[in-house]
Amino acid sequence: MTSDDADPLDRVRRAKARQHSDRWLDGGAVAAGALVAVVPQVGPALAFAVGVPESVATAFAAATLLTVPLGAYVAGYLGGTGGGSGARHGLAGVGGATLVAAFTVLHLAGETVVSFGDVPASVALVAVTALGSAVGALGGSVGGRRKRRDLRHQPSERRFS
């Protein structure tokens, strides 16, 4: 038994260094990004459903839109180690979260919310999902690039722990 084999932590580090994931998406990263993006957005729909004035619900909804790029960033950072992988995770996380939020709004508040702009619900859903996915890809790309940079600047002994 050599001195390399004696340290269990070294064996774990070597095994982690040899790991290769062939998964296209990391479900945990997508779920984390989706939760960060969607959970705060359910609040305005609930507020509107319980009778909060429209102006307050609209202001609350506008403030929660800032969580969409944050959710994309989280998904991209956790799921990717580069711009392409981060964008893929951000797009999946925010695209799914946007659909969940839109269906929640339609279910809780009905057509009244969509009628603010005199837009049919189906058109609004497609537009919101497309915009959310674009923002998700951009935010995820930034998160993935940031993670790659962070990994490059970490000491090698901490990278695999």
Q: What is the pLDDT of residues 67-78, one digit of tens each?
A: 888 889 999 888
In the chain, the N- to C-terminal Cα span, in Å, equals 23
Instruction: Look at phi and psi of residue 118 and say left if phi exceeds 0, alpha if psi is from -120 to 50, else beta.
Output: left
**Residue 78 structural domain:** 25-159
Return the HEC string of 45-96: HHHHHCCCCHHHHHHHHHHHCCHHHHHHHHHHHHHCCCHHHHHHHHHHHHHH
How many whole angstroms from its chain centre is CA 28? 10
> Do the domain assignments include residue 62?
yes
> Do the domain assignments include residue 5?
no
> Do the domain assignments include residue 110?
yes
Indicate yes or no: pTM above 0.85: no
> Do the domain assignments include residue 107?
yes
Please tell me the least confidently modeled range out of 90-94, 135-139, 155-159: 155-159
pLDDT in tens, 98-154: 887 777 777 777 666 666 567 777 777 788 788 888 888 999 999 888 888 888 877
> Do the domain assignments include residue 17?
no
> Do the domain assignments include residue 13?
no
How many whole angstroms from its chain centre is CA 158? 26
Specify the pLDDT at position 117. Answer: 67
Structural domains of the chain, count: 1
> Do the domain assignments include residue 31?
yes
Greatest distance between any 2 Cα atoms in the chain: 75
Specify the pLDDT at position 161. Answer: 45
pLDDT at 19 over 50: yes
pLDDT in tens, 27-46: 888 888 888 887 787 788 78
> Do the domain assignments include residue 16?
no
